[in-house]
Amino acid sequence: MYIGVKKVKPLQNYELLITFENEEEKIFDLKPYLNTGLFADLKNESLFKTVRVVLDSLEWNNGVDICPEVLYSESRNI
């Protein structure tokens, strides 16, 4: 099922509060990604907080992005 991202808010401890197009809100934990490729740059909290919605996904100022399918399936309900 494809559900795009509508809104994102960076939280403490490298978590993101995400609102999806179906109005569900979920928490995505980015910590498991922080030792992989360009995601490691996001350990810098200032860079981590640059997260924004681009089209229907998330992107950071260093060009890293995550597709909405992964965000939705790997997020936990709140």
pLDDT tens per residue across span 15-36: 999 999 999 999 999 999 999 9
pLDDT band at 13 (very low <50, low <70, confident <90, very high): very high
pLDDT tens by residue, 35-68: 999 999 999 999 999 999 999 999 999 999 999 9
Say what the pTM is. Answer: 0.94
**How confident is the model at residue 35, as a pLDDT?**
95
CATH of domain 5-77: 3.30.2020.10
Q: ∠ at Cα 65 (19, 41), nearest 5°? A: 115
SS3 state at 3: coil
Which band of pLDDT confidence, cut at 50, 70 and 90, is reported for residue 78? very high
Tokens of 7: 């809104």
* Torsions phi, psi for 70 (to 5 deg): -65, -45
